[in-house]
Chain A
Amino acid sequence: MLQGNATDTQITHLQRLWLYILCGLILIYLVFPIFIVVPLSFSDSRFMRFPPKDWSLRWYINFLTSPEWRAAIWVSLRAAVYTTLLATPLGVAAAWGLARSRLPAARALVLAVISPLIVPVIITAIGLFYLYARLNLVHTMTGIVLAHTCLAIPFVFVTVSSALSHFDIGYERAARSLGASQLRAFMTVTLPQISPAVMSGALFAFFTSLDEVVISSIISGGENTTLTKKMFSGLRDELDPTIAAVSSFLIGISLVILLLAVLMSKGRNDD
């Protein structure tokens, strides 16, 4: 097995053993920190020792019985859902409009739509705070959702644009020749076929909102404190072990999202 050729240039697996070991270590580096959190959350100790000496559910109980943590989770989930519901149609509409327009300025508009990804978040965050202070949007759900939607639109836009660029415009033309207006052609023919990309865009939007720290720390607060703001201040001030339980909960969500994303990308590749 090890004597077999690994490459076209006749390097054997044995000769590349170092590469396999190195890559194995890199993969461990990537994945290990994520999985260490889960056992820690079941520890009985305040001190985050690994492996834990005694096991308990006390941090989960802490997490689920604390009104503050529960409120924070509720705020974050609501914000993520609203953001997804807002960013997905806006991103899809922008992607479709720009894919179909033959405007010379289309390229500049693409850059404008993805600009929230380019501007460092801290700049957007303090700019938003300055703006929200005048609009009375600080510490409001509306404020959080609008800000997160700005950050999420580029992800939806990029995934859907990419799917549209591979999508045969002939389908839309066929639908229009058969009597569908451009909008109906899109809704009845294009959208069903690019739905995996729209779904992964939506997942991106959901995750972007759920995971956003910087803007949330600055503009959320009061009864609308997001989970990330609460975690961030918790981590900065003291290592509250409840965060291990919260983290395990978030890892669970991530695994579900990753699973869905992998399924979606399978769907995209099959086209």
Chain B
Amino acid sequence: MNGSTGLSISGLSKHYGSFRALDAIDLAIGAGEFMTLLGPSGSGKTTLLMTIAGFTRPTKGHIRIAGRDLAAVPPHKRNFGMVFQHYSLFPHLNVAENVAYPLRMRRMSRTDTEQRVAHALDLVQLRHLSDQRVGNLSGGQKQRIALARAIVFEPDVLLMDEPLSALDKNLREQMQFEIRSLHDRLGITTVYVTHDQREALTMSDRIAVINHGRIAQLGTPTDLYNRPADSFVAEFLGESTLLPIERSGVDYTLSGQPLRHDHSAPDARYLMVRPEKLEFWEPGLEPTHNRFNGTIEQKVFQGDSLQIRIRLASGQQIVMRRPARRTVLDRIGEGGAEIALALHSDDTVLVPDGAA
């Protein structure tokens, strides 16, 4: 199933009256890439996936694969596999018949069909369930069968629409791992939609954060997490505190205090602080770190970590997270105690305003 092809989307728009569900989207997905579309509900990520799949007709724009424009091609002629949120396994067919369905539609010979179905079921380790009725399966099994059915005909692209949202947490994490390893083995170009940022960070080669029908940012999980393009991405992806900053000449200040920073966008409006990037101040940190003084307001024990809410001298609140280790617990005083924090200039990320 190698030799997968990439997908190129250009100027893709979907308008409902004056509402722009998709607003001139450009996105190039590389061959064999695992691309996640991430966004809040109503952002347009599902519309984008449905447009790629062919269920929503775009107002304008192109979806090209190997030079062929698919924008007006009906779904069944696109050769894209798709896994749906609610599995959508056909209840009147058994497991093997479900997986054989796309091959039947392609009028494949009986022996080929049997061979391919067996192979696909092996890939998801459920061959022993071939003759089962779909209704008897567990959620995880259904999702694996849906996956097998979506890849059995060697589609050019695999589309997945929040496939794990109906599963419970433990199973979800296991399935994330399985889907990713299956992807790595097959090298199939995958477009994956989720609203779960953790899932997106775990699984993707690249993530496109969608907001208001546009791509707010496109990049690797590390890029997005460490260098969010704007305040929207910063808040949507991971935990963060955004502190308003002022501009003075070429530099930025936080309540009058100049900020030492390595990364900033032209119109930065906020300092983004990730709770785990904050450290306790040590005298030797002076040349590389920014220093913030404040008082401890609240300590919340969260099992593996300790969340500490600190009121800065300027009046703003900031959140810090440290592992709940003895050395850490000893360092932190009671509520009301003074504390000095350090943030490395490399972690001092200044971002512009992004409409939420």
Q: Do chains A and B touch in the complex (CB under 8 A)?
A: yes
A residues engaging B (CB < 8 A)?
168, 170-171, 173-182, 184-185, 188-189, 192-193
The residue in chain A whose Cβ has the minimal distance to the Cβ of B159 is A177
For A168, A171, A175, A177, the residue with the greatest tally of chain B CB atoms inside 10 Å of its CB is A177
Cα A145 to Cα B88 with chains together (Å): 40
Contacts of B76 in A (CB 8 A): 176-182, 184-185
- How many residue pairs link A and B with beta carbons under 8 A? The number is 69
Cα A189 to Cα B105 with chains together (Å): 12
Interface pair A173/B55, CB less than 8 Å apart: yes
Contacts of A182 in B (CB 8 A): 74, 76
| B80 adjacent to chain A (CB < 8 Å) | yes
Nearest chain A CB to B72's CB is how many angstroms away? 15
Interface pair B105/A179, CB less than 8 Å apart: yes
Contacts of A193 in B (CB 8 A): 90-92
Majority secondary structure of chain A interface residues (helix, strand, loop or mixed): helix
The residue in chain A whose Cβ has the minimal distance to the Cβ of B90 is A189
Contacts of A192 in B (CB 8 A): 92
- Per-position binary interface string of chain B over residues 257-279, scored 1 when its CB falls under 8 Å from any chain A CB and 0 otherwise: 00000000000000000000000
Interface pair A177/B80, CB less than 8 Å apart: yes
| B84 adjacent to chain A (CB < 8 Å) | yes
Could you pull out 14 A-B pairs where Cβ atoms are within 8 angstroms? Answer: A171-B88, A173-B84, A174-B82, A176-B55, A176-B74, A177-B54, A177-B81, A177-B82, A177-B159, A178-B76, A180-B76, A180-B101, A181-B74, A193-B91
Contacts of A171 in B (CB 8 A): 88, 90
Cα A189 to Cα B53 with chains together (Å): 19
- Per-position binary interface string of chain B over residues 108-150, scored 1 when its CB falls under 8 Å from any chain A CB and 0 otherwise: 0000000000000000000000000000000000000000011
The residue in chain B whose Cβ has the minimal distance to the Cβ of A170 is B88
Nearest chain B CB to A18's CB is how many angstroms away? 46
| B325 adjacent to chain A (CB < 8 Å) | no
| B197 adjacent to chain A (CB < 8 Å) | no
Majority secondary structure of chain B interface residues (helix, strand, loop or mixed): loop
In this complex, the interface size class of chain B, counting residues with CB under 8 Å from chain A, is 20 to 34
Interface pair A179/B79, CB less than 8 Å apart: yes
Cα A181 to Cα B92 with chains together (Å): 19
Cα A232 to Cα B327 with chains together (Å): 99
Cα A185 to Cα B296 with chains together (Å): 62
| B183 adjacent to chain A (CB < 8 Å) | no
Interface pair A174/B84, CB less than 8 Å apart: yes
The 9 closest A-B pairs by CB, nearest first: A179-B105, A178-B102, A177-B82, A174-B88, A170-B88, A176-B75, A192-B92, A180-B105, A176-B76
Interface pair B106/A179, CB less than 8 Å apart: yes
Contacts of B54 in A (CB 8 A): 176-177
Contacts of A168 in B (CB 8 A): 86, 88
Cα A168 to Cα B80 with chains together (Å): 21
| B153 adjacent to chain A (CB < 8 Å) | yes
Nearest chain A CB to B90's CB is how many angstroms away? 6
Nearest chain B CB to A101's CB is how many angstroms away? 13
Nearest chain A CB to B331's CB is how many angstroms away? 53
Contacts of A181 in B (CB 8 A): 74, 76
The residue in chain B whose Cβ has the minimal distance to the Cβ of A271 is B91
Interface pair B92/A184, CB less than 8 Å apart: no
Interface pair A175/B74, CB less than 8 Å apart: no
Cα A178 to Cα B158 with chains together (Å): 11
Nearest chain A CB to B94's CB is how many angstroms away? 13
Nearest chain B CB to A116's CB is how many angstroms away? 32
Contacts of B106 in A (CB 8 A): 179
What would 19 more interface pairs be, CB under 8 Å, given A175-B90, A177-B78?
A: A168-B88, A170-B84, A170-B85, A170-B86, A173-B84, A173-B88, A174-B90, A175-B101, A175-B105, A177-B82, A177-B159, A178-B102, A178-B153, A179-B79, A180-B101, A182-B76, A188-B101, A193-B91, A193-B92
